Amino acid sequence: MADDVVQGMMSPDELRALVASGEIETVLTVFPDLYGRLVGKRITGHFFCNEILGHGMHVCDYLLACDMEMDPVPGYRFASWADGYGDVHCVPDVNTLRRASWLDKTALVLCDVFDEERETLVDVAPRSILKRQIERASALGLRAFGASELEFFILRETYESAHRKSFENLETFGWYVEDYHTLQGLKVEKLVGAIRRHLDGSGVPVEFSKGEWGPGQHEINVRYAEFLPMADRHVVYKQLAKEVAIQQELAVTFMAKFDERHAGSSMHFHSSLWSADSGKPLFAGNPPLDGDLSKLPEHFRWWLGGLMHHARASTLMFAPYVNSYKRFRAGSFAPTGIAWSYDNRTAGFRIVGKGSSLRVECRIPGADANPYLAFAATLAAGLDGIENRIEPPPMFRGDVYAAAGLETVPRSLPEAIAEFEKSPLFKRAFGEAVVEHLVHFARTEQRKFDEVVTSWERRRFLERI
């Protein structure tokens, strides 16, 4: 079980000592918004230790009710012009306090978002949504562990040069598919190696990096953990990777489909359950090579059954934007069919490992997913499978892309919104107000896309229509 002491993490007393010695001057005090971005403030070390550690900080509540451009979006019950866009109270979770080793004399801490009047977690905050599902698992005597495999493209651009090019004709770092290539990997080792080292030094233990199935595409795998610290590691990883790239005058992108010519970028998510009492893995067993799940523990079967039963409804949490659905293409290593199979990368659910490491890999999420929401959906679906003893269908053998009659991953954002919105599970597990908030967020994304005339349309129609 991944409960080891992690390099780069620190206690409040250790932070105070580092601030007193001048080794830490700034504390990035942040929380994840609906996009999974880290928003917050840079706080001087002495003020953080003297005031913020004990009392928290305040930020405008519109940060959980705006779009990517920071526009306050009408239609949310949580925050609006009518209510004056007041404050929420951000309370540092000292368990997340870590060095930000890629920044000079800086530490970072993640906050939980509270309604100050009620002194309760803000229900629509992504970290709150995940914590509610973790509480459900704990009540059943379960601890959920996971690991997200996050892919990204490296560009021979800066974010500013990409903007000057109107985000067209961007040059990838490499011109051929470099999956597992160590020669091509050498060319980006200055960046990827720096990201690995800074992750390790910032409380995000790294296992390895490798080239992926696109030119300039790479993956860095970090050590598994319980769902909440894993989600925290995930968002630190994304911010760190972008900022280290900026320092080297490069850019990385976690778009699900950066370019129609190339592979998409995934966030394959591995999950398993452990007993809260004994600390033993509940999925342990021999790989189901013959497809006979009856030989495996009930928790494994029912967890998988719940994930598959609710896969279509969960997809909005795995693929939250219009662009996300351009990744689901046959022959691309992104799933199109909802099936499970042992060590089969065409299946939406791939069973991997053996013994105590036997686990479920969900291949539906893209690198653009908000990990708190993706992990919360996974936990809600899996726990429902256990509580209702949902059995998975028979194992699929062969090429899922070529199969007929399988249930499919939603093919568009509106289809995924409809599946999520009508799901009794998520209304019950997340709460109707949270479902309404997340649906409004997704519909806003679709509306913003629908209002824009794209370069594809101009290229196709300007002269010839």
Q: The CATH number of the domain where 100 resides is what?
A: 3.10.20.70
* Residues 54 and 200 reside in one and the same domain: no
Pairwise pLDDT comparison (73 vs 184), residue with the higher score: 73
For the segment 43-70, the average pLDDT, to the nearest whole number, is: 97
Q: Residue 45: is its pLDDT beyond 80?
A: yes
Single out the residue of 289, 287, 273, 288 nearest to residue 385, CA to CA.
273
188, β-bridge pairs: none
**CA–CA separation, 124 vs 28, rounded Å?**
22
* Residues 140 and 168 reside in one and the same domain: yes
Single out the residue of 226, 222, 214 nearest to residue 143, CA to CA.
226
**CA–CA separation, 374 vs 434, rounded Å?**
14
* Residues 144 and 257 reside in one and the same domain: yes
**In-domain check, residue 128:** no
Kindly report, residue by residue over 70-124, the tens digit of the pLDDT.
Answer: 999 999 999 999 999 999 999 999 999 999 999 999 999 999 999 988 889 999 9
User: Of the residues 78, 101, 122, which one is the last residue of a structural domain?
Assistant: 122
For the segment 207-216, the average pLDDT, to the nearest whole number, is: 94
State the pLDDT at residue 117: 85
* Residues 328 and 240 reside in one and the same domain: yes
pLDDT band, residue 5 (cuts 50/70/90): confident
- Domain membership of residue 217 as a residue range: 135-456
**In-domain check, residue 162:** yes
146, β-bridge pairs: 225, 271
* The residue type at 31: F
**CA–CA separation, 402 vs 344, rounded Å?**
13
CA atoms within 13 A on the CB side of 206: 21
Q: Residue 267: is its pLDDT beyond 80?
A: yes
For the segment 163-171, the average pLDDT, to the nearest whole number, is: 95
State the pLDDT at residue 116: 84
**In-domain check, residue 304:** yes
* Residues 318 and 180 reside in one and the same domain: yes
**In-domain check, residue 3:** no
| Total domains in the fold of the chain | 2
The CATH number given to whatever domain includes residue 150 is 3.30.590.10
* Residues 368 and 422 reside in one and the same domain: yes
Residues 6+ apart with CB under 8 A from 24: 15, 18, 45, 99, 105, 106, 107
Distance of CA 321 to the CA centre of its chain: 13
**CA–CA separation, 332 vs 257, rounded Å?**
11
Q: Is 20 helix (H, G, I), strand (E, B) or coil?
A: helix
**CA–CA separation, 434 vs 376, rounded Å?**
12
**In-domain check, residue 461:** no
Kindly report, residue by residue over 396-417, the tens digit of the pLDDT.
Answer: 999 999 999 999 999 999 999 9
For the segment 149-155, the average pLDDT, to the nearest whole number, is: 97
For the segment 304-317, the average pLDDT, to the nearest whole number, is: 98
pLDDT, the chain, mean: 96
Q: Residue 15: is its pLDDT beyond 60?
A: yes
User: Of the residues 122, 151, 186, which one is the last residue of a structural domain?
Assistant: 122
pLDDT band, residue 1 (cuts 50/70/90): low
Q: Residue 143: is its pLDDT beyond 80?
A: yes
* Residues 290 and 379 reside in one and the same domain: yes
* Residues 234 and 345 reside in one and the same domain: yes
Instruction: List, in sequence order, the alpha helices (H) in 261-346.
Output: 298-309, 311-318
**CA–CA separation, 341 vs 126, rounded Å?**
31
* Residues 324 and 220 reside in one and the same domain: yes
Residues 6+ apart with CB under 8 A from 178: 184, 185, 211, 212, 214, 215, 216, 217
* Residues 114 and 223 reside in one and the same domain: no
User: Of the residues 99, 122, 145, which one is the last residue of a structural domain?
Assistant: 122
Contact 374, 318 (CB under 8 A): yes
State the pLDDT at residue 2: 55
* Residues 26 and 81 reside in one and the same domain: yes
State the pLDDT at residue 349: 97
Kindly report, residue by residue over 372-389, the tens digit of the pLDDT.
Answer: 999 999 999 999 999 999
**In-domain check, residue 391:** yes
The whole model's pTM is what? 0.97
> Could you give the angle at which helices 126-139 and 371-387 cross, rounded to 10 degrees?
20
**In-domain check, residue 313:** yes
* Residues 278 and 425 reside in one and the same domain: yes
For the segment 46-50, the average pLDDT, to the nearest whole number, is: 98
Q: Residue 3: is its pLDDT beyond 60?
A: no
**CA–CA separation, 86 vs 91, rounded Å?**
17
Contact 382, 299 (CB under 8 A): no
Q: Residue 218: is its pLDDT beyond 80?
A: yes
State the pLDDT at residue 214: 92
Q: Residue 284: is its pLDDT beyond 80?
A: yes
Single out the residue of 347, 344, 279 nearest to residue 311, CA to CA.
347
**In-domain check, residue 462:** no
DSSP structure class, residue 262: S
State the pLDDT at residue 118: 85
Residue % of the chain over a pLDDT of 70: 99
